[in-house]
Structure 1
Amino acid sequence: MNQSNGRQKSPRRFTTLFFDVFGTVVDLRGTVTDAARAQLRDSGLDQERAQLLADEWFVLLNMSLTEVRTGKRPWSGHDELTRRSLMQALERIGGQGAGHVSPTVEKLTLAVRRARAWPDSRSAVADLSEAYRVVALSNASAATLTELSAASGIRWHCVLSSEFARSYKPDPRVYAFAVETLRLDASEVLMVAAHTWDLEAAARNGLATALVGRNGEDPVDAPGAFDFRARDLTDLADQLTVA
């Protein structure tokens, strides 16, 4: 297994890199927490509860995605689930009588669509795009991915939403859809993510995997048989540079 200790040759020939976006390329958790702090302050609520609000939202959103993926909930798009989960989280954390819940949800939803990129993301993706096809593969909607890319300045060769497969990662249909859509073989794809659950599902579909360390996400030394482990995307780009 490759370690993040310098420039190495890839043990497999990849043509394409699939990137998870939320948490891996953009700091969603930090962006939402900061936006929540500002909105709670403007609404006259305790801004110290911003982290609780963000954590509650993540839990509720992931529950909703799982319910849709497993058929326990009718199909709903990611943007709808995001807004609904934010509303529920605000009501739980901010209080039912907040009075400003609806406009606050709209502002937080906008923050999600413009989540700030991690400092190294733009340059690392640009560097990697010179040798590989770089593809965003995210549970976020195509509209959100488009706005995120425009706001961050990150340029992809292709943007794919899990919604195109009418499901959400880690459903195997999402990875298969992405591979088939781009007329690829799974063996030539490297899945890049800061979440072990995403990579483990990708590996079961024949993709190689790269775990990237990000603050607030899974640690880079998390258990698992990953092809690459990198401190950040710049480190991964160094490892994938062919001498």
Structure 2
Amino acid sequence: MVGAGNIEVVVFDILGTMVDEPGGLRAAIRDAVPASDESSVDELLTVWQQHVESEQRRIEVGSRPYANTEIIDHEAAHRVADRAGLTDPVAIERLATASQRLDPWDDTLAGLARLARRFPVLGLSNADRATLLRLNAYAGLRWHQVLSAEDTQAYKPAPEVYRLAVDAAGCPAERVLMVAAHAWDLRGAQAAGLRTAFVRRAVGDPPRGTDTFDWRSDSLDELATELTALQRS
């Protein structure tokens, strides 16, 4: 395991890691379709998530030209509306911008602040620039710099997205730590030469038995404590 003294910059995934993306989307669907029960909300959330995942995958393999998350979220919102019989254009438009209004996890703000006192901290997200601007303001996320995959016209886990963070960090990739609740994201970072830290979230993608991440923590606070202790040793 690399020591924390070898880490110069910490990079965080945002959606799912720093903010509760599924919870925020569920709340937006409930607001848009108030007559829906929980089972229906879950079904509509699945419609949204499957569209986003399939379109990002199509872009990754080159079967669709790049489209940012604002465009894909609008498509997802219209799919949800079609399934739910929602026709109010104002409600559909508000649903389409749900990713701008996602709540942070309970430990996010304090954990981010602790780490920011010791390291430069970057956000690195698949979300488009305009969405990140509004989401960071809504959730109270305070970065030294935030980066959007939109600048590479690709989506994580494409290697060029992680290179964006390494270039911004201005140091070798092995001195950059990627923090995420998604094992697939950390595998992409690892392949690009970054160090990795998995933080457990209820909505994350857990590691496989074969994953060899540098740190595994149950919270950002725990990770901050571990990194601080190693940095002092």
Give yes or no for TM over 0.5: yes
2:181 to 186, 190, 194: 194
Aligned partner of residue 58 in structure 1, secondary structure: helix
- The residue that corresponds to 2:74 in the other structure is 83
Find the counterpart in structure 2 of residue 236 from structure 1.
223
Q: 1:10 Cα deviation (Å)?
A: 3.1
Return 5+ residue gaps in structure 2 as ranges: none
CA contact (8 A) 1:36 1:47 kept: no
Which amino acid is 2:61 matched to?
Answer: T
Seq. identity, % = 35
Match of 1:99 in 2: 87
1:28 aligns with 2:21: yes
Please tell me whether residue 162 in structure 1 is matched to residue 149 in structure 2: yes
What letter matches 1:62 in structure 2?
A: E
1:222 Cα deviation from its structure 2 partner: 4.2
State the match for 2:130 in structure 1: 143
Worse overlay, 68-77 or 163-172: 68-77
| Segment of structure 1 superposing worse, 79-88 or 155-164 | 79-88
Partner residue in 1 for 2:36: 46
- Measured after TM superposition, the shift of residue 11 of structure 1 is 5.3
Q: Distance in 1 between matches of 2:74 and 2:4?
A: 42
**For residue 6 of structure 1, what is the aligned residue in structure 2?**
none
Task: Quote the Cα distance in structure 1 between the aligned partners of 2:125 and 2:53.
Answer: 14
Provide TM-score, normalisation by structure 2. 0.92
Aligned to 1:4: none
Letter in 2 for 1:50: V
The count of corresponding residues between Structure 1 and Structure 2 is 228
Post-superposition CA distance 1:51-97 (Å, at most 9, x none): 211122111101111111221101211111111122113323x14xx
Are the aligned partners of 1:61 and 1:85 in contact in 2 as well (CA < 8 Å)?
A: yes
CA distances 1:175-227 after superposition (whole Å, capped 9, x unpaired)? 112212332210110100010110001001100111111112223x6431111
In structure 1, what is the Cα distance between the partners aligned to 2:140 and 2:36? 34
Aligned to 1:130: 117
Give the structure 1 partner of residue 57 of structure 2.
66
The answer on whether the counterparts of 2:184 and 2:205 sit within 8 Å (CA) in structure 1 is no
Aligned: 1:120 with 2:111:
no
Unaligned runs of 5+ in 1: 2-8
The runs of at least 4 aligned residues of structure 1 exceeding 6 Å deviation read none
TM-score (norm: length of structure 1): 0.88
Higher helix share: 2
Separation (CA, whole Å) in 2 of partners of 1:12 and 1:63: 40
Q: Structure 1 residues 235, 99: closer, same or farther in 2, change over 3 A?
A: same
Tell me, yes or no, if the aligned pair for 2:12 and 2:179 is still in contact at 8 Å. Answer: yes
Paired with 1:218 and 1:235, the residues of 2 have a C-alpha distance of: 19
What's 2:212 paired with?
Answer: 225
CA contact (8 A) 2:4 2:227 kept: no
CA RMSD of aligned residues (A): 1.7
Q: In 1, Cα distance between the equivalents of 2:79 and 2:188? A: 29
Q: 1:203 aligns with which of 186, 190, 199?
A: 190
Is 1:18 aligned with 2:11?
Answer: yes
Distance 1:237 1:222 in 2: 23
